[in-house]
Amino acid sequence: MPIRTRSDALFAAALEHIPGGVNSPVRAFRGVGGDPFFVESAQGARITDVDGNTFIDYVGTWGPAILGHAHPKIVAAVQAAAVRGTSFGIPNPAEVAMAWRVKEFVPSVQKVRFCNSGTEATMSAIRLARGFTRRDKIIKFDGCYHGHADSLLVKAGSGALTLGCPDSAGVPADLARHTLVLPYNDADAVTAAFAAHGPGIAALIVEGVPANAGLYLPKPGYYELLTHLCRDAGTVFIFDEVMTGFRLAKGGAQELYGLTPDLSCFGKIIGGGLPVGAFGGRADIMDHLAPLGPVYQAGTLSGNPLAMAAGLAALDELAAGPVAAEATRRTGNDASGNPPPHLGGYYDYLDALGRQLGAGMVDAAKAAGVTVTWQRLGSMFCGYFTEGPVWNLSDAMRSDRTKFAKFFHGMLAEGIYLAPSQFEAGFISTAHTPDDIDATVRAAAKVLRTI
């Protein structure tokens, strides 16, 4: 086991001053047992703790680090912006450049507003949809996490799942009753909900790909059905791409699935590692926002020049793509059976690494005699310790979490950092190499034999 004297001392101190010792619950390792390590620095695909242990990192700060940690172009952009001033509270040019970039990547976005987190983006999009339709009810799906706003903390995933408290205390029942929660991938359930409540439903919100209860994918035709039901009922279709945006393709999951949502929400990658969220879509809806319209939404630090500089550098780099992605030539069987998307640039490289990891993990599990259902899309993945297929939250809940916890700690001891919860997706970055993936598969082959 790695030495962790300093991490343990810091965590003991943190517990005295910060609830649970953390500023976001999943970081506390409650889903796997044990205590978190404290990070000294991170570079590329690696993260180094305060005791000097270095890990190959598949958390990538929960998604944002698609270009790896401390990417030189992002660091330079932040440094250059910082000396010009860290916040103005009045428009700065980077906001316009960012808006232009987002619209270029995501054609369904006609107008966009920037905020400071994914939570703010989804919360604001819901308010906007309610103000636009003058309706109260919203539909969300079991296991989909959309941040921690009150209306959306009903049967949510992510930390809310790991901690076994899908509903939060402090959310008024009067508010929660406006949120209809449906099982994901169930065409009959959503058709029936629209039949019963259609004219009262302001918005339907769904993740680009549900990635806060592990990772599972929409059945063919399911998102088309959601689109049609929303259109017929005059319901605003909100696509939460906080995780999938700029991750699965430049245009996110909506590009992969050929969708045109009314509103989309962004976060994580869009800030290049700084706090940025955004929501955007149809101009006629977006123009209901203050100061043009009656829906209030604001932020002292929204469009912050430092955060915009980091986000813009990240999106610019994703737009430019790699000079040479030699590893795209590596092939293997795709464990999930997805057709390889031809996305170009970094996305082909990420997909190739995802494929390599999936094939290796499936072989390693088979050799060790452990049942693992490996789910993957592009550079996102999750291994469930149960028979497949996994199509929704109740399938995901069948996973053997004791086995996952053993796997997690075994991998950590081998220098591989996976998300400390069964119900989180893993992420590959452009800084990972085929050799990193090979090392990860070798470690897994060893660890799986001990489970």
Footprint on this chain of ligand PLP (rule: CB under 6 A): 117-119, 122, 145-147, 207, 212, 240, 242-243, 267, 277
Concerning whether 240 is annotated as a catalytic residue, the answer is: yes
Q: Which is nearer to ligand PLP, 328 or 379 (CB)?
A: 379
Q: Which residue is nearest to ligand PLP (CB)?
A: 118
User: Residue 366 and residue 364: Cα distance in Å, rounded?
Assistant: 5
Residue with tokens 């959309």: 146
Inter-residue contact 143 to 392 (CB < 8 Å): yes
Three-state secondary-structure class, residue 377: strand
Tell the smallest beta-carbon distance from residue 372 to ligand PLP (Å).
23
What residues pair up with 384 in beta bridges, in sequence order? Answer: 373
Q: Which is nearer to ligand PLP, 122 or 373 (CB)?
A: 122
Q: Which of 111, 137, 140, 268 is catalytic?
A: 268
Q: Which tokens in the block code for residue 203?
A: 């918005």
What residues pair up with 174 in beta bridges, in sequence order? Answer: none
Concerning whether 268 is annotated as a catalytic residue, the answer is: yes
User: Residue 91 and residue 47: Cα distance in Å, rounded?
Assistant: 35
Tell the smallest beta-carbon distance from residue 171 to ligand PLP (Å).
16
Concerning whether 73 is annotated as a catalytic residue, the answer is: no
Tell the smallest beta-carbon distance from residue 135 to ligand PLP (Å).
22
Tell the smallest beta-carbon distance from residue 153 to ligand PLP (Å).
11
Q: Which is nearer to ligand PLP, 55 or 145 (CB)?
A: 145
DSSP 63-125: TT-TT-BT-HHHHHHHHHHHTT-S--SS--HHHHHHHHHHHHH-TT-SEEEEESSHHHHHHHH
- C-alpha distances out from residue 32 to 28, 384, 387, 402, Å: 9, 14, 21, 8
Tell the smallest beta-carbon distance from residue 59 to ligand PLP (Å).
12
Q: Which of 58, 145, 257, 417 is catalytic?
A: 145
**Geometric angle at alpha carbon 395, from 186 and 22, rounded to 5°:** 110
Q: Which is nearer to ligand PLP, 119 or 254 (CB)?
A: 119
Q: Which of 49, 142, 240, 395 is catalytic?
A: 240
What residues pair up with 295 in beta bridges, in sequence order? Answer: 289
Q: Which is nearer to ligand PLP, 242 or 343 (CB)?
A: 242
Tell the smallest beta-carbon distance from residue 116 to ligand PLP (Å).
8
Q: Which is nearer to ligand PLP, 121 or 365 (CB)?
A: 121
**Geometric angle at alpha carbon 356, from 354 and 359, rounded to 5°:** 105
Residues involved in catalysis? 145, 240, 268
